[in-house]
Amino acid sequence: MSRGEGVRIRQQRLLHELFISVAERQPAKEALVVEGRSYSYAELLKAASQVASALSQRGVQRGDRVAIFMDNTWPCVVSIYGAMMAGAVFLLINPQTKREKLKYLLEDSGARAMLTDAHLGFVFLEVLEEIGPDLLVIASGVLSPESERVESFDELLQGEVGSPPPCMTIPTDLAALIYTSGSTGFPKGVMQTHQSMVFATRSIVEYLRMQPDDRVLLALPMAFDYGLYQLLMTMSIGATLVIERSFTFQGLIHKRMREERVTVFPGVPTVFAMLVSSHRKKAMRFPDVQVVTNTAAALPAESVPLLQEIFPNACIFKMYGLTECKRVCYLEPELLAKKPASVGRAIPGTELYLLSPDGEEVGPGEAGILYVRGPHLMAGYWQQPEQTAEMLKPGKLPGERVLCTHDWFRMDEEGDLYFLGRSDDIIKTRGEKVSPLEVENVLYALNGVREAAVVGGSDELLGQAVYAFVSLEAGSELTLQQIKKFCISRLENFMVPKAIELLDELPKSPNGKIDKKKLEKRVAQ
């Protein structure tokens, strides 16, 4: 006798399947509010399907990289899901990115297509002149001047809905390349699989206690993985995401939060510092907010009581993470008063431990380097085997790899972690990572600069601030204003030094290298 087909349970194994499952169950549910305009799950699924179909018709295949160089907009969200549904690997590029870095990212990733905004044409049109003709470019909005190489995103969405290609993707295929600053001065592409991103999404949703009726604010750039995951988490549970381009206009954000009755507020220390400053001048309250999250840099303990006044009904989550595994740990909000300096314990489904530099386990209260185990680890750095080997180390079990964060922590008797310091010189400012070498390379590209060094310094508003020290060639008449203007033309806003100091000679160590420790002390004075 034939057993028949049996019970079939449809699993959501791929990142975009989390969203598609919701869209099929509740198509009329409000998925997004983008700068005040509402979109349903059905509308998002239709638009993403159109993009997926168009990409496939234009030759994009499984595993091809699709760059998304856009602001926080409806086309950006559509492009993310459309790229995945086409079987492609998406990479988000910060819209502040300048020409040289955009060219590097497109070439390093081997991007097959780029979806972008027409208003960024002043950046990408120059790059297209230097890149081969095989790059497919589709732009949202009206491009001026027009280019034969650029197709219209808006016309693409107005066409008939084509069927997305059959999904051949499996969970161990790459879903995204997430570029992050590296110690070499060149951004590294963190390879994340569908499997790792689905796991991270579900784990974070679990510990944040998110609900389908949540309304999540997103004013952080989606090119920042903290911003991207607000989208992924919200769409995975059928909640609503309220999208704004940035936190620049605070009054507008506050108004939108009240109008849309936002319940989840993700921020970084810079954002919270601005909120606290405004609150001190004129008290404000957002009683609808139920969850407040912070990552990227430590949230000052003195800010917490004021945040509790601003968000009187919210659970405040302190967290720590790396792009290489998305999130490492979180502090239960009920422990915030008891352990204000802690970043908590491992996210659900993962494990953490501390080792000495010699690889020996350290006991409670002792300093050690943090190692991470779990399904959320990156597959490695894109085309960077040596740097991958520095981060992914052999684990305790045969054949496993664990993530070495290279950051120092201590763990208390109850298993909660306390951040002690970084092992590298990456600067975390405004919630973003800045490679000092990347800024130094820009300074050295300016005629008249003899030596340059960049360091980070503590900053109440920014978490850390970028400081540059420069010595000039003999006879150079470069001014601080000229150097700053050059940096602004070559670097994203958050990478531009807060202060630049001209010195006759930069301090050196006995082996002749620039002594950054002395420069850091100079900043701290």
- Whether 18 is in a domain gets the answer no
Q: Give the domain CATH number at 497.
A: 3.30.300.30
Residues 413 and 449 in one domain: no
- Whether 220 is in a domain gets the answer yes
Residues 71 and 160 in one domain: yes
Residues 439 and 415 in one domain: no
Question: Greater confidence, 289 or 304?
Answer: 289
Residues 416 and 493 in one domain: no
What pairing do the DSSP bridges indicate for beta strands 188-193 and 380-381? antiparallel
Of 118, 150, 169, the residue that ends a domain is 169
- Whether 403 is in a domain gets the answer yes
Count of structural domains within the chain: 3
- Whether 207 is in a domain gets the answer yes
Say yes or no to pLDDT of 201 above 60.
yes
Residues 411 and 484 in one domain: no
Query: Where does the pLDDT of residue 10 fall: very low under 50, low under 70, confident under 90, or very high at 90 and above?
Result: low
Residues 373 and 339 in one domain: yes
Domain that holds residue 302: 196-420
- Whether 20 is in a domain gets the answer no
Say yes or no to pLDDT of 248 above 70.
yes
Distances in Å between the Cα of 401 and the Cα atoms of 101, 176, 356, 398 are 31, 20, 18, 9
Q: What confidence score (pLDDT) does residue 513 get?
A: 67
pTM score of the predicted model:
0.85
Over the stretch 388-423, which tens digit does the pLDDT of each residue have?
999 999 999 999 999 999 998 999 999 999 987 776
- Whether 256 is in a domain gets the answer yes
Say if residues 435 and 185 touch (Cβ distance below 8 Å): yes
Residues 415 and 442 in one domain: no
Which residue in the block uniquely carries the two structure tokens 């945040």?
307
Question: Greater confidence, 279 or 290?
Answer: 290
Say yes or no to pLDDT of 1 above 50.
no
- Whether 301 is in a domain gets the answer yes
Residues 241 and 363 in one domain: yes
Residues 443 and 415 in one domain: no
Say how many C-beta atoms besides its own lie within 10 A of residue 414's C-beta: 11
pLDDT above 90 as % of the chain? 68
Over the stretch 441-469, which tens digit does the pLDDT of each residue have?
889 889 888 888 899 998 878 889 999 99
Q: Give the domain CATH number at 260.
A: 3.40.50.12780
Show the tokens assigned to 427: 């600067």
- Whether 175 is in a domain gets the answer no
**Angular region, 3: left φ>0, alpha ψ -120 to 50, beta rest:** alpha
Distances in Å between the Cα of 479 and the Cα atoms of 40, 447, 483, 508 are 53, 12, 6, 24
Residues 222 and 143 in one domain: no
Over the stretch 297-348, which tens digit does the pLDDT of each residue have?
666 666 788 899 999 999 999 999 999 999 999 999 999 989 988 999 999 9
